[in-house]
Amino acid sequence: MIRILLPAFALLATAAAADTFEQVKIDAGAALFETACKRCHSVEADRASYGPLLTGIVGRPAGSFEGYGYSDALAGSGIVWTPAALRAWMEDNDGFMPGTKMRHVGIEDRTVQDFILAYLATLAE
């Protein structure tokens, strides 16, 4: 019995550790978002603040939050916010897409990008 249960338990423990790690990333991302993004981006209310609402942003076409007055650069970009695009945007938004209204943020640390991405992915529409 023990011999059967032990591997199952080990598997469960690994899954729990992975879950915990994911949660730690999300929590860290939420804190980073709070300092780096939240003053311009609402995530709870169904409205834009100074910047567009970011719910459902991972996988959303750029410039598609209805009612927000996007710059031509962003509205006409034709891109989709994949994780890679969001990384490039966080790293150097002006370099990635010149001419938008978003002030430059330069988050070059990949781990910090990872954390913010993990948090953004939880913002379902």
Identify residues 16-75 at the interface with ligand HEC (CB under 6 A). 36-37, 39-41, 50-52, 57, 62-65, 70-71, 73-74
d(CA 72, CA 101): 9
Stretch of 3-11, 16-24, 102-110 contacting ligand HEC, by CB under 6 A = 102-110
Tell me which of 100, 118, 119, 121 binds ligand HEC, using CB under 6 A: 100
Tell me which of 30, 43, 58, 90 binds ligand HEC, using CB under 6 A: 90
For ligand HEC, the closer CB: 7 or 78? 78
Looking at the DSSP bridge assignments, the partners of residue 80 are 61
Q: In 78-87, which positions are buried (b, 16+ CB within 10 angstroms) versus exposed (e)?
A: eeebeeebbb
Distance of CA 68 to the CA centre of its chain: 19
Give the Cα-Cα-Cα angle 50, 52, 56 (nearest 5 degrees).
Answer: 150
- Which residue ranges make up the site for ligand HEC (CB under 6 A)? 36-37, 39-41, 50-52, 57, 62-65, 70-71, 73-74, 81, 86, 89-90, 100-103, 105, 107, 116
